[in-house]
Structure formats: C-alpha cells, structure tokens
Amino acid sequence: MATIRQVAMRANVSVATVSRVINNKGYVDANTRKIVLKAIEELNYVPNSVAQVLAGKKMKVIALIVPDISNPFFAELAKAIEEQARQKGYTLFLCNSSEEEQKEFGYIEVLKSKSIDGIIFATHHLNEAMLDHCRDLPVVLMDRAWIKQSLNKDTFVISARNQRGVQLAIRHLLEMGCRKIAHIYGPQQVITARERRLSYQKEVERFSWYSDSLMAPGYFQIEGGRKAIQALLKKHPDIDGVFVGNDTMAIGALKGLHQMKIEVPHQVAICGFDGIQMTRMMEPELTTIAQPIEAMGKKACQILIDLIEGNKKPKQHIEFDVQLIVRGSTKRR
C-alpha cells in the first residue's frame, strides 16, 4: 500500500503539500493540485481514515442511496456523482436499496456507524423518521426523495422541471399529428411519477378523446412498459401517440409495439422521459425529454461536499431545466 511520502516523491512536492491537497486545507495552486491528485490516483493511495477520525478530521467518504442500480438513470447518476467526488478527494459508497424501506433504514444505521460524512438520497422511501435519524449528517435529496417536510429542515433538493417536460412531450406529439395520446406511468408513491402523470392529465383533459383508461402503469420497468402498451392498445386500438413516464418503460413499450407488428412512429409515436444513453441504442432511436443527469449528479455532490466542509448555505430547492430531444420514434414522414 502506497504512503503519503511515496505520493510526495511521485509528485515531486513536499509531504505537507500532499496533506493540504488531501485535506483541502491551505493554499495549493491548481497545477500542483492536479499533479498531486494524479500521483494519488496512479499509486492508488488511500489516506489512513482511522487516524483521520481519531484526529477529528473527516473521512472524506460520502454515500449515495439509490432504489435500483439496474435502472440506467441511476447508473448514470451514480457515475456523475462518483466522478465529482473523486475530483474533490472523496470516496463514494453506493447503496442499492432494491426499493425496500427497511433496507434503506439499515443503510443509514451502517453508514452512521462507519463515520460517513454525508448522504445523497435518490430513493422515494425517505420519511421524517429517516431525516431525523440523519440530523447530524449533511444530506442532499434528489427529486424522487423529496418530501415536503424536508424543506423545513437544513436539506437541499435537486430536481428537474417535470411539468415543463411533460408539456414539451405532449405538444411535440400533437405537432407530429397524433390525435389520441396515451400515458404509461410509474409508481405513484414516487413523486416524479406522480408529477408526470398529473401533468399529462392537465395537458390532455381538454380534448374530447381523453379518458382515464388512456393511462396504464408500467412500474418504471421494461417489462411493465411492454405490458402496458399492449393493454392500452387492446382498449384503444386508435391510439397513435404515447407519452411514457421514463425511458426504461418507453424501451419496453417500443419492444411491445414491435411484437405486435405496429410500426413506430408512423402508426404509433413514442416519447420517453429521462434522457438515458440507452435511448440511442434503440431502433428507431427514442425521442425523450432529457434531464441533465450528469449536471444534476455533480451539483448534488458539490453541495454535499460544501456542507461537509462547513461552507454553509441557505437551504434550497434547485430545479434543472429539461430538453426535448427528437429522434426516430416520433419523426413521421
């Protein structure tokens, strides 16, 4: 295992300089900091965390709790947070809760016992009891973890403009000539899924063709999306457009339409939501409402590190704008 002295020799600086970079204290010019961080990475140097804790210093370890790492959205989010954490000299613990509340509470217990410095929540099970249990830790919430009570505490919320995204999706499908637009929605206990469903209803309820039966659950899963589109078309064979509450379900819906020999987009156009990289691997490529996943992850990480290092800020709810990315699944001739 590499030592701090070996890092100093590799970077051709003093041990004190390496220490200032590791602890993010004292002035080190940008170029020297870059050289030291490169030496740390090349030597795979890990500071003695036990010694740091005993000395009253931070572990420089943060945690991200996600509900389902197999969902590409959370994989991309975790990647962005890990990259930002590493650049700041922090290590990331990734905790996959499998959508289980008790598992999330167990993670909080373990993380606190390991002297973790802060937590980013991206799950929907977070409640008042969990927040109270984290009262001694800096916490940042991603949008699905947002609960109204959290705004009364010293917490930060990072979210995307869900309502604006749904407006863009519905208006785009109408502009493409769609005359009857259905919606596949995610679990309604998840605030993002609920906001997107309610926004869909608000956008289309003025049309004579609208009915509640044009909505079906897809559970944020590929198979859920496949089954939902088939159930919707069985009830409404004249559906010619679908807004889907996330890209994972939209990929499943695309698969279901192919199985039914329905041509996309000329018979049914599909628009998803999230902007995951997998949407570009489909045929046709999937039109989507893209959240700036990387920017959201990096912002959440930076805020958490600022809080850990004592750079106090007033609690905030930071909303990121979304973007309509038009691809083959809605481009009609």
What average pLDDT does the segment 40-68 reach? Answer: 73
Collect all residues with Cβ–Cβ distance below 8 Å to 240 and sequence separation of at least 6.
Answer: 177, 178, 179, 180, 181, 267, 268, 269
Lowest-confidence region among 17-21, 64-68, 75-79, 143-147: 143-147
User: Is residue 47 scored above 90 in pLDDT?
Assistant: no
User: Is residue 53 scored above 50 in pLDDT?
Assistant: no
Same domain, 184 and 233: yes
pLDDT grade for 317, boundaries at 50, 70 and 90? confident
Task: Answer whether residue 306 is part of any domain.
Answer: yes
State the total domains in the chain. 3
Same domain, 146 and 166: no
Task: Answer whether residue 245 is part of any domain.
Answer: yes
Same domain, 229 and 271: yes
Same domain, 287 and 297: no
pLDDT grade for 333, boundaries at 50, 70 and 90? low
Burial of 321 (0-12, 13-18, 19+ CB in 10 A): exposed
| Residues of the chain above pLDDT 90, percent | 65
CA pair distance 105, 111, nearest whole angstrom: 10
Q: Which domain holds residue 224?
A: 162-291
Same domain, 153 and 88: yes
Task: Answer whether residue 327 is part of any domain.
Answer: no
User: Is residue 272 scored above 70 in pLDDT?
Assistant: yes
Task: Answer whether residue 333 is part of any domain.
Answer: no
| Residues of the chain above pLDDT 70, percent | 92
Collect all residues with Cβ–Cβ distance below 8 Å to 320 and sequence separation of at least 6.
Answer: 158, 159, 160, 161, 291, 292, 295, 296, 299
The CATH number linked to 37 is 1.10.260.40
For residue range 55-108, what is the model confidence (pLDDT) as tens digits?
445 678 999 999 999 999 999 999 999 999 999 999 999 999 988 888 888 888
Q: Is the dihedral of CA 279, 95, 155, 46 positive or negative?
A: negative
The CATH number linked to 166 is 3.40.50.2300
Nearest to 70 by CA among 275, 276, 236, 225: 276
